[in-house]
Homo-oligomer: A and B are copies of this chain.
Amino acid sequence: MSVDQDKFKQILREKGLKVTTQRISILKVLSDCDDKHLTAEEIYELVKIDYPEIGLATVYRTIQLLLELKLIDSVQLGDGYVRYEFGHNDEGGKKHHHHHLVCLSCGKVVSFEDDLLEKLEEKIEEKTSFRVVDHDVKFYGYCKDCL
């Protein structure tokens, strides 16, 4: 929460960028809705509650900034929207990889931590000489509540 905000402010200052109410508000919404995977429009609507003057363009520009700073990640669930989630990166920049379980009935997205993929990555490098540096894994199905 405020740890992230302080970190954000610090990075902005280090880069000579300005700490604005809009930027802090957007980070706060993303941090508060950590598990929601919000679209830009949804972030816009949530920020407007506390800060009605904000423009959608500012939301997009701030999302772009947060992506570049690796404070958030983008997720595409195949529904035509780009969604964003608070980044769970280590201090050292190493990613806490998690996969997404997407419910085809209610649309809910649950995260799932696992490292079995690393074995598969090794297998790929062996068999195809393709050097894997990142992956994106989604499972579609039905959640406990919808079954």
Contact = CB atoms under 8 A, between A and B. Distances in A.
A133 to B, nearest CB: 5
A105 to B, nearest CB: 10
A143 B135 CA distance: 14
A101 B136 CA distance: 11
A147 B128 CA distance: 12
Contact of A128 (B112, B117, B127): B112
Given A119-B116, A120-B116, A139-B124, A104 B78 contact: no
A136 B133 contact: no
Interface residues of A, number: 35
Contacts of A76: 76, 78
Contacts of A74: 78
A3 interface: no
Contacts of A123: 114, 116
A42 to B, nearest CB: 19
A87 to B, nearest CB: 16
Nearest to A104: B133
A117 B116 CA distance: 9
A60 interface: no
A75 B57 CA distance: 28
Interface string A115-139: 0110111011001111111111111
B120 A101 contact: no
Given A76-B78, A114-B120, A114-B123, A132 B141 contact: yes
